[in-house]
Amino acid sequence: MKLTDDDIRYIEYLQGQLLQDDWEPIFDAQKWKSWTADNVDRIRILAEHTLGSNPESLTEYLEFYSSFEPRTKYEVPATKPIFEPILEEVQKAASEIGIKLTRPVVLFSSTDISATPAARPTSTEHLLFAGPGTYAFCNYWGKSLTAVTMALAPSIGFKRIETQDDLDAAFRMDPRGLILAARLALHYAAFGTLIGFGEVQQPAIYTAYRIQLVDAMETFAIAHEYAHFVAEENLVEFSGALEPARNQALELFCDQLGIAIGRECGNATDNYLKFAGIGALVSFRAIQLCESVRQFLFASIPELMKDKKLGGSSGSHPSPEERIENIKLYLYNHTAPDQRQELEQFVEEYDRILSRISAIVTMAVASVQAPGNSHGP
Ligand SMILES: [Zn+2]
């Protein structure tokens, strides 16, 4: 669709609102434009790392980059190649289950450094903002969980994780995924983002699984925002400014619809992680862990956090725990009886792993004392 100059000004205004001052250089579209022109070879290497070696998606990705034409002053070239295909898949899956939007969805770079994309419906189109905050979060957590998953089979064989002991045995043999989780949680707690976390090298055999998991996480993130547009067009009780309680209900609705759409995407792309809602589960457990580490930093090392605000759920969003319970309930109640047990076991096993990671990282962080607070002899 053709956007008018007024539309673009409004989009820029919204991007400006999502932007924190220190982060402006990261979103400078003109700098990115000259960078992409000068770094074609580097982009190819990055693309191979992100996408594996699927030649079709690789060509598409490189074309996106080489034709990068920023529409606003805040734009990151990776926004389109990463999120446009996901948005298309989500749209297709939604229409597959009988959901169609009247207004078009247009994708722009989010300038919000946090993990979540943003949906801003207008009377003519739906604005979807997604960007590096989201893909950095999904990619790094995808790497952590991939490393944990890959460590399981060599240490305990192909049995289900039934207890904490099974898992701890794996962590003792290969703690790389767990250690990465701890670093990610601390980084996010301190900076509110995973943009700029730095390189994490992993063996090439991890790539296939990681791509599936990251795809599941990003698909859920986009499907959830898409659900906001569906609500905006169809459900009067959820439109306009909402009271906190009503807004929480809206978020839970969007999680469920996001899961329903994600499942359809999982079927279409043969990705069981997507089908089983694992993208949502990993995202919410990771956010929950980051929040508890952040609260701990505020309480115990206030000098480190003095210029920062304690964000977290202000009442407008349900807690991660509520959101996880909500999606599990939805998943289990909307699975055919012959598949339900298998799905439930899979999800619960995954959640046992995630919860154990959270417990260990939280214990580790809580046991570190700030220098001034130590109770020495
Ligand atoms: Zn939402």
Domain shared by 231 and 143, yes or no? yes
| Interval 300-355: pLDDT, tens | 888 878 777 766 556 789 999 999 999 999 999 999 999 999 999 999 999 999 99
Residue 331 lies in a domain: yes
Q: What values do phi and psi take at 102, rounded to 5?
A: -80, -45
* 142 and 246 fall within a common domain: yes
Do 306 and 167 belong together in one domain?
yes
Residue 6 Cα, ligand 1 centroid: separation in angstroms? 26
Single-letter code of the amino acid located at 34: S
Same domain, 300 and 353: yes
> How many angstroms does the Cα of residue 280 sit away from the middle of ligand 1?
12
Q: Strand pairing of 105-109 and 118-121? A: unpaired
Across residues 150-164, what is the average pLDDT?
82
Last residue of a domain, one of 106, 131, 156: 131
Distance 254 CA to ligand 1 centre (A): 6
Residues 341 and 219 reside in one and the same domain: yes
Q: Is 127 among the domain residues?
A: yes
Listed residue (287, 333, 327) closest to 311, CA to CA: 287
Q: How far is the CA of 220 from the centre of ligand 1 (A)?
A: 11
Q: Which helix (H) or strand (E) holds 329?
A: helix 320-333
pLDDT of residue 238: 87
CA of 48 to the centre of ligand 1 (A): 31
Ligand 1 centroid to residue 251 C-alpha, Å: 5
Q: Which domain holds residue 200?
A: 135-367
Q: Is the dihedral of CA 199, 202, 206, 208 positive or negative?
A: positive
Q: What was the pLDDT predicted at 94?
A: 97
Q: Which of 131, 152, 179 is the last residue in one of the domains?
A: 131
Give the percent of the chain with pLDDT over 70: 95
Bin 101: left if φ > 0, else alpha if -120 < ψ < 50, else beta. Answer: beta
Helix, coil or strand: residue 105: strand
Identity of residue 123: S
User: Tens digits of per-residue pLDDT, 354-370?
Assistant: 999 999 999 998 887 65
Q: What CA–CA distance (Å, rounded) separates 75 from 16? A: 11
Asked if 16 and 75 touch (Cβ cutoff 8 Å), the reply is no
Tokens of 157: 């064989």
How much distance in Å is there from the Cα of 180 to the middle of ligand 1? 27
Give domain status of residue 372, yes or no. Answer: no
- 8 vs 206: CA distance, rounded Å: 41
Ligand 1 centroid to Cα of residue 351, in Å, is 22
The tally of domains found in the chain comes to 2
Q: Spell out which residues have Cβ within 5 A of ligand 1, the ion.
A: 251, 254
Instruction: Give the separation between CA 260 and CA 243, rounded to whole angstroms.
Output: 26
**Residue 373 CA to ligand 1 centre (angstroms):** 39
Report how far residue 139's alpha carbon sits from residue 214's, in angstroms, rounded to the nearest whole number.
6
Residues 122 and 162 occupy one common structural domain: no
DSSP track, 64-88: HHHT---SSSB--TTHHHHHHHHHH
**C-alpha 80 – ligand 1 centre gap (Å):** 21
Q: What is the CA(55)–ligand 1 centre distance, in A?
A: 34
Lowest-confidence segment of 54-68, 93-107, 248-262 by average pLDDT: 54-68
Q: Are residues 91 and 35 in the same domain?
A: yes
Backbone phi, psi, residue 106, to 5° = -115, 135
pLDDT classification of 86: cutoffs 50, 70, 90? very high
In this structure, is residue 88 part of a structural domain? yes
Range with lowest mean pLDDT among 49-53, 116-120, 198-202, 251-255: 49-53
pTM: 0.93
pLDDT value at position 376? 47
CA of 98 to the centre of ligand 1 (A): 21
Ligand 1 centre to CA of 370 (Å) is 36
Report pLDDT digits (tens) over 2-15. Answer: 889 999 999 999 99
Instruction: Give one DSSP letter per residue of 266-313, joined into a string.
Output: HHHHT-HHHHTTHHHHHHHHHHHHHHHHHHHHHHH-GGGGTT----S-
318 inside domain:
yes
Task: Determine the pLDDT at residue 368.
Answer: 74
- How much distance in Å is there from the Cα of 120 to the middle of ligand 1? 11
271 and 326 fall within a common domain: yes
**What's the 93 CA to ligand 1 centre distance in angstroms?**
19
Rounded to the nearest whole angstrom, what is the distance from the C-alpha of residue 218 to the centroid of ligand 1? 14
pLDDT, one tens digit per residue, over 15-34 is 999 998 789 999 999 999 99
Residues 346, 274: one domain? yes
Please, which residues have CB within 8 angstroms of residue 162's CB and are 6 or more apart in sequence? none
Asked if 277 and 248 sit in the same domain, the reply is: yes
Cβ atoms within 10 Å of 101's Cβ, excluding its own: 18
pLDDT at 377 over 50: no
pLDDT value, residue 24 = 92
Ligand 1 centroid distance, CA of 13 (Å): 21
Instruction: Give 376 Cα–ligand 1 centroid separation in angstroms.
Output: 47
In terms of domains, do 166 and 265 share one? yes
Give the mean pLDDT of the chain.
90
- Specify whether 100 is located in the same domain as 24: yes
How many Cβ atoms sit within 10 Å of the Cβ of residue 188? 25
**Which of 96, 131, 166 lies at the terminal end of a domain, its last residue?**
131
For residues 98-127, give the mean pLDDT: 94
Q: What amino acid is encoded at 105 in this protein?
A: V
